[in-house]
Amino acid sequence: MSRTRATPARRTSDFFPPCTCPTAVGAVGGCAGQWRRFALDPNATQVPLLYSHGGGARAAFNWAVARVKANWEQREAEASYGLGEEEVTPWRGWSLPALRKAYNAATHSDPRFALGF
């Protein structure tokens, strides 16, 4: 009767090299926030999709920056008129969930985000 040995379970350290950062000495699985670089090799049909994804992400970022900046400047202008805190435009939420919710709502009503086809 022959016995076969069970394959040992793989450890996290088998997949990631040990972290060498002075702030995370001995951390298993590398540093939190350590990024991996890898090359993409898209084919001819994937290249426009990658560019489209980057453009869409940039448009969303620019929209969020403009929204927060407009609210900030409006409040600043109203404060210069001598209005009190209760009279000025209320702060808009600028956390990630609040901006994401507002952006999703804006994509349905803002003509800048209308589909071009």
Q: Which of 17-21, 37-41, 92-96 has the lowest mean pLDDT?
A: 17-21
Q: Are the CB atoms for 51 and 40 separated by under 8 Å? A: no
CA dist 18 and 76 (Å) reads: 49
Which pLDDT belongs to residue 108?
A: 85
CB atoms under 10 Å from CB of 99, counted, come to 19
**Highest mean pLDDT: which of 1-15, 23-37, 43-57?**
43-57
Do the Cβ atoms of 23 and 35 come closer than 8 Å?
no
Q: Domain spans of the chain?
A: 12-41, 44-117
Residue 117 above 50 pLDDT?
no
* pLDDT tens column, 42-100: 899 999 998 888 888 898 999 999 999 999 999 989 988 888 888 888 888 889 999 99
- For 49, counting Cβ atoms within 10 Å of its Cβ (0-12 exposed, 13-18 middle, 19+ buried), the class is exposed
Question: Which two structure tokens, joined as six digits, stand for 57?
Answer: 């992400």
Against a cut of 0.85, is the pTM above it?
Answer: no
Mean pLDDT of all residues in 102-113: 85
Cβ atoms of residues 65 and 102 within 8 Å: no
